[in-house]
Structure 1
Amino acid sequence: MTAVQHVEPDFSTRLLESSEMLSYDPMTEIDWDSPLPDHQYGLNPEWSTLYGTSLWDGLTEQQRITLTRHEVGSIMSTGIWFEMILQQMLLRDQYAKNPANPEFQFALTEIADECRHSIMFARICQKLEIPAYFPHKAVVEAARLFKSTAGGEVAYGGTLVAEEVLDVMQRDWMRGENVLDIVRTSSKIHVVEESRHMKFAREEIKEHLQGKNLLQRHASAWLIGLISYAIISSLVNPRVYKAVGIRPRDGLAAAQANEHRKSMLRNACAPLMDFLDDAGLLTAPAVNLYKQVHML
């Protein structure tokens, strides 16, 4: 990612100062040895992909709890996958740049944050005894090209999508009284630290768009939409439904037709869509992609 423009030093300096004042160590903030209460969900039931469907109605309370634990494990696994992509893109973007620049230093700070977040998510999945849920193989392989070649507003746009959507979900999880304490605490950590990352990504997108012509903007808009489609459709792996005796294809069909789920996603994506619209990145082809995964 070769940047022609740069985020203003004062802005990056403020982000660095915020990182110094308000950052967490998940290894000490989370009580890893505490037992998992049987009655606590993995995420708010309302965020389950099956909530509001006949399949959900047919589950016992314990099955619902099990399903949400597998769903949050899948979301965290997907988060790890994309955070690894993000770290590589940030390193490429800052390669051989002035280390005295606050932008350079915050980029490395963000990489350190993402490393801690990935380890935190990995340990939660381990404690929940959740299998590794990865996106579809085709998405994983396509992402190898993306992480090696994406630059500018496309790279930061994809980053912003992943961060914004998870941020809205986790703001609910951290307040969920019936949600596992380890999920609530990890959500609080992620929300606080990712708020700086989102501000950084938004500024980078605006800077990289300066001087771009209409064709370039349309191409970037479509690519960001394509990345968004891949991320949102990969959040919950259909294999999670096997944990409660539902065939993956049946669970996936119910989730895709779930009007409650569609409404939750649209509400979660509203601030992101407003930003993309203001930035001129909400073109007709991009809108079509967002609508397919109910982001609009």
Structure 2
Amino acid sequence: MTDVSTPTTTRPAASRTSADVSARLLRSAAKKSYDPAVDIDWDAPLDPQKTWTPAHRVSLYGTELWDALDEDQRRELAKHEACSVAGAGVWFETLLMQRLLKDFYDDDPTSDRAQWALTEVADECRHSQMFARMTQVAGVPSYGPVPWVRAMSKLYSLVTWGPSAYATILVAEEVLDRLQREQADDPDVQPLMRQVNKIHIMEEARHVSFARAEVADGMAARSRPARAYHRFATAFVSFFIVRSLIHPGVYSSVGIDPKRGRKAALANPHYQEMIRWAGEKIVGFLDEAGMVKGPGKPLLRRAFLLPRRARRRAPLAR
């Protein structure tokens, strides 16, 4: 049997060890970090003509339900969806903080890696406060995963650790990051939303660097059976991350039945392509790290992170 500490796969070429990355990130965080409580003007009036997310990123864009909405309703749905994504961010950042604190507990507290874990927890505390306050200012309900997913996610730290924990963290962070980068400089987006995005982008870049190093180190150190487990765990959790971005309740804000809206969104090619586009960078990295194969791959397709397989046409009868 192969020992789990024996390197059995290659690290992605651009990777550095998590110890090296931790030291660099600690220096970076000391030089530049934000406090949303003072770096965002929370009292600035909202512009009723600005959107909260571009129309082509709304889940119903291109559907008959979307065509039936007037411009005010479209902006309202965009606002609820933007805050739903923020609510999913709060949910998963809470799970991430639990994972980081568990890793800190098991590590040497004087090491750069342990010190970085605490630094990232501090960042995520501020980010969660920022997302929650933005939702409050927007006047939108506090969304998040549906109740049964929220309950099930309490098992997150038990079923993921090491490379699967940090791979799922990357899926959540990098999907959100790509959407935020598109919106951060869009003059049609609410200034509050743009500033929230800019702060999150800058600090999450450090988190992504650390998590990528953890995935590369972790997969290189696992046995073949362990790697297979981490691949499936990553795909399983990633499916629920992506499906939790848009809460079905958002559709009620514009008079659409939540079940009908959810069904239309999941069948919408525009929405499916948006998710694939948002996740293509992280999926490419995970594929390079050996994490995109095996029985979990269909789950990544169902999450729209991978393109669906083209159906084979039946041969013509002669």
DSSP 3-state at the match of 1:130: coil
- The answer on whether the counterparts of 1:44 and 1:172 sit within 8 Å (CA) in structure 2 is no
1:12-35 Cα offsets, whole Å, 9 max, x none, are 111111112221111122110011
C-alpha displacement of 1:8: 4.6
SS at match of 2:48: coil
| Aligned twin of 1:9 | 19
Q: Aligned pair in 2 of structure 1 residues 181, 139: CA closer, same or farther (>3 Å)?
A: same
Report the secondary structure of 2:182's partner residue: helix
User: Partner residue of 1:136?
Assistant: 146
Match status 1:191 vs 2:207: no
Supply the distance in 2 between the matched residues of 1:180 and 1:131 (Cα, whole angstroms): 18
Change in CA separation of 1:149 and 1:94 when aligned onto 2, cut-off 3 Å: farther
Q: Name the SS for the 2:284 alignment partner.
A: helix
Between the aligned partners of 1:86 and 1:95, the Cα distance in structure 2 is 14
1:145 match: 155
Supply the AA of the counterpart residue of 1:139: V
Question: What's the CA shift for 1:216?
Answer: 1.4
Matched, 1:70 2:80: yes
1:247 to 238, 241, 257: 257
- Which AA in structure 2 matches 1:145? L
Give the letter aligned to residue 20 of structure 1. A
CA distance in 2 between partners of 1:9 and 1:259 (Å): 42
Measure, in 1, the Cα distance between the counterparts of 2:157 and 2:294: 25
Would you say 1:59 and 2:58 are equivalent positions?
no
1:92 aligns with 2:89: no
TM-superposed deviation, 1:249: 1.2
2:222 to 205, 212, 218: 212
Q: TM-score, normalised by structure 1?
A: 0.95
Q: Is residue 2:285 matched to residue 1:285?
A: no
Aligned-residue RMSD, C-alpha = 1.7
Q: Distance in 2 between matches of 1:226 and 1:37?
A: 40
Query: Are the aligned partners of 1:152 and 1:204 in contact in 2 as well (CA < 8 Å)?
Result: yes
| Count of equivalent residues | 294
Q: Which amino acid aligns with 1:107?
A: A
Give the whole-Å Cα distance in 1 for the aligned partners of 2:185 and 2:282: 22
* 224, 230, 238: which one aligns with 1:228: 238
CA deviations 1:133-185 (Å, max 9, x no partner) are 12122211111111345311111111111001000010012122111111100
Take 1:285 and 1:48, find their aligned partners in 2: how far apart are those partners? 31
> After superposition, where does 1:105-120 map in structure 2 within 5 Å?
105-120=115-130
* 2:168 match: 158
Assess if the C-alpha contact under 8 Å between 1:41 and 1:69 holds in 2.
yes
Judge conservation of contact 1:36–1:180 (CA < 8 Å) in 2: yes
Extract unaligned runs of 5+ from structure 1.
none
Answer yes or no: is the 8 Å Cα contact 1:265–1:294 preserved in 2: yes
Task: Please give the residue correspondences for 1:119-130 in structure 2 after superposition, counting only pairs within 5 Å.
Answer: 119-130=129-140
Residues 7, 103 of structure 1: 8 Å contact kept: no
List gaps (5 residues or longer) in structure 2.
8-15, 307-318
Q: Give the distance between the partners of 1:137 and 1:28, measured in 2 at CA.
A: 33
Task: From the two aligned structures, give the one with the greater helix fraction.
Answer: 1
Give % identity.
40
1:96 & 1:273 partners in 2: Cα distance? 29
Decide whether the 8 Å contact of 1:89 with 1:148 is kept in 2: no
Secondary structure class of the residue paired with 2:62? coil
From the CA coordinates, give the structure whose radius of gyration is larger: 2
Conserved 8 A contact 1:174-1:187 = yes
Residues 118 and 279 (structure 1), Cα distance of their counterparts in 2 relative to 1, 3 Å cut: same
- Residue 304 (structure 2) aligns with: 294
Partner amino acid for 1:140? Answer: R
Deviations along 1:193-233, one digit per CA (max 9) or x if unpaired, are 00110110010111111232222111111110000000000
The answer to which of 66-75 and 91-100 deviates more is 91-100
